[in-house]
Structure 1
Amino acid sequence: MARVLGCVLVAAMAALVVLMLVASPDKAGEGGPVFGVLLAAYLVAFLYGRPDLSAVATGVAAAVLWLAVVALIPPVSLALALLSVAVAGVVGVWLTRNPVAGLAAAMSSALLITTVAWALVTYGPERFVPVLDAPGAADPLLESRIEAPDPYVGLLALGALLAVVLVAVRRFRTVNAAVST
């Protein structure tokens, strides 16, 4: 079930990336391959890393909590997103006593929070869009909608790095189990 949920999360992010790249064809040449690699890391982690359902659910719960706070105190905040990812990792370890579950929880929350944040700042109500200083912009809201998702690429990359670590740990354990027998 965790694999299915993970694949759904990756598919949602992939659909949003496609929508964003279609809206900004000039970014597609440089951003498309980067997003492809990042999403591939997530996909491999969900399929090969085999995270526990409780870990993925913890990541989803952290993202839902982040969304609730953002809904009460807009606009979206990268600092709050990073805090939520860290909390997901800590809670994942605390619940399962397994550091790998913490990695999976943090990875899952990073992916879902990035997806929701991009959707909110791009397509959501104005109150969710952070006001960015755009001197001389004809439409400051439009400029903020265009620029606001950019910092979340770092969050997406952080989650992808956690995904790579998750796969490496899984591979290490598989090889050690084979050598031990």
Structure 2
Amino acid sequence: MTRTGKDAASRILGVAVALFPPDRRDWGQAMRAELAALEDPAARRRFALGCLRVALTRPSTLRTLGYPALMLGALAAAVWWSGRIGYGPLRWAVLAAAAALLAFVWWGRRPGALGPVGPGRVPRLARACGCMLVCALVLAGAASVASNSNPGEQAAVGVPIYTAVSAGYLFAFLAVTSRATAHRGAVPARTLAVGGGVGGAAAAIWVAVLATARPMPTATAPLIALIAGAVIVAAVVAPTSRRASGRPLTGRAKDGLIAGLCAGASAALLAVESLTALATYGPAAMIPDLAPVALTRADDLAQSRSEIQDPYVAILLLGGLLAIALCLSAIRVRRPSP
């Protein structure tokens, strides 16, 4: 004797079956048939819950449900954190910026110029790292505007600038890691690896300089030279790799351009965020005395921690320009002719 009524076990199994991808719907049919053969209510519930556990732990299900949950969690965190901002227009500006950037991330999951992410570990890792870097930039920007003594100016100018720069970086990371379409080819994984690797190495060199100097240097000219060197190295290495040797000359030139822009943008962003972390949390011995007229040593240190970050705004904007160029170059990658 079989049961076909819509009891709790049937509803639970219905949810589990709905979570399976189309190529696994035959699993759902088999589960329904096995559930129909069970009579004991407890056994039916145990079986349905087991099927639901299997469906929820599948990687495809985790990706499907994880993104919405992550987006909602991030938005809820932004609403909670912004409660400490007393000036209403500034709080709403911060929330609008957070919602817009989260919408762009969601857009990156849809088929188009920014998504979805390409297959393979390199594009997925590059996109994840890029999104985390942008997240760190947004958090630092939000903390900066929230602590500023002129909230009206920050709501009208500071938040839009931070949002535009963050969106530029985000668009670049999404576009360069998106999968191929009928009209556009994907950026090769080796190009992403070279660009990200060279950019990360350049940023690591600068972090080593900052961490070992006492106090930290205030000039940014050496960093600009380091970023330029990263762009050149990546642009030269990517087209000459062994796997790229069989590609047409135009394809190799495009690989070099994208790798160079990727290296420059990632090096600039990593260097700025590293400096921000060291200036905010580093020991006092690392901080140069940039406010000698301060009334107390504590005021001198606090003002110096803030002022040492000012020259890096230009580095952040430079990286933003490289990111915009990277985004446009990645979008214009054409699928090779068969």
| TM-score in terms of structure 2 length | 0.48
Query: What's the CA shift for 1:173?
Result: 3.0
Displaced runs of 4 or more, over 3 A: none
CA distance, structure 2, for counterparts of residue 14 and residue 152 of structure 1: 16
Provide structure 2 residue ranges, at least 5 long, that are not aligned to the other structure. 1-124, 178-186, 240-255
CA distance, structure 2, for counterparts of residue 86 and residue 130 of structure 1: 26
Partner of 1:82: 224
2:294 is the alignment partner of 1:137: yes
Q: 1:69 aligns with which of 209, 231, 249?
A: 209
Partner of 2:164: 37
CA distance, structure 2, for counterparts of residue 136 and residue 83 of structure 1: 32
8 Å contact 1:76–1:121 — kept in the other structure?
no
Partner of 1:20: 144
Instruction: List per-residue Cα deviations over 1:132-175 (Å, max 9, x = no partner).
Output: 2x36322322221122211111111100100111112223334x
8 Å contact 1:6–1:46 — kept in the other structure?
yes
CA distance, structure 1, for counterparts of residue 321 and residue 206 of structure 2: 21
Greater RCO between the two (CA within 8 Å, min separation 6)?
Answer: 1
CA distance, structure 1, for counterparts of residue 223 and residue 285 of structure 2: 17
Query: What's the CA shift for 1:99?
Result: 2.2
Letter in 2 for 1:60: G
Partner of 1:94: 236
2:266 is the alignment partner of 1:124: no
CA distance, structure 2, for counterparts of residue 131 and residue 92 of structure 1: 36
Q: 2:308 aligns with which of 137, 143, 148?
A: 148
Secondary structure class of the residue paired with 2:310:
coil
CA distance, structure 2, for counterparts of residue 116 and residue 76 of structure 1: 13
CA distance, structure 2, for counterparts of residue 70 and residue 147 of structure 1: 15
Q: 1:103 aligns with which of 239, 257, 261?
A: 261
Cα gap change, 1:59 to 1:118, in 2 (>3 Å): same
Instruction: List per-residue Cα deviations over 1:67-119 (Å, max 9, x = no partner).
Output: 11222224044223222212221221132131220110010010010011112
Letter in 2 for 1:68: A
Deviates more, 1:43-52 or 1:103-112: 43-52
CA distance, structure 2, for counterparts of residue 128 and residue 110 of structure 1: 21
Query: What's the CA shift for 1:66?
Result: 0.9
Query: What's the CA shift for 1:63?
Result: 0.8
CA distance, structure 2, for counterparts of residue 141 and residue 10 of structure 1: 28
CA distance, structure 1, for counterparts of residue 217 and residue 274 of structure 2: 10
Query: What's the CA shift for 1:34?
Result: 0.4
8 Å contact 1:62–1:88 — kept in the other structure?
yes
Q: 1:162 aligns with which of 307, 319, 322?
A: 322
Letter in 1 for 2:312: Y
Identity of aligned residues (%): 36
Letter in 2 for 1:64: A
Cα gap change, 1:105 to 1:70, in 2 (>3 Å): same
Partner of 1:47: 174
Letter in 1 for 2:263: A
8 Å contact 1:6–1:56 — kept in the other structure?
no
Query: What's the CA shift for 1:131?
Result: 2.6
Letter in 2 for 1:171: I
- Kindly name which structure, 1 or 2, has the bigger radius of gyration based on alpha carbons: 2
Query: What's the CA shift for 1:120?
Result: 1.2
Secondary structure class of the residue paired with 1:136:
coil
CA distance, structure 2, for counterparts of residue 67 and residue 17 of structure 1: 20
8 Å contact 2:210–2:275 — kept in the other structure?
no
What count of residue pairs does the alignment treat as equivalent? 177
User: Which protein is richer in helix relative to its size?
Assistant: 1
8 Å contact 2:264–2:319 — kept in the other structure?
yes
Deviates more, 1:26-35 or 1:108-117: 26-35
8 Å contact 1:76–1:117 — kept in the other structure?
no
8 Å contact 1:117–1:149 — kept in the other structure?
yes
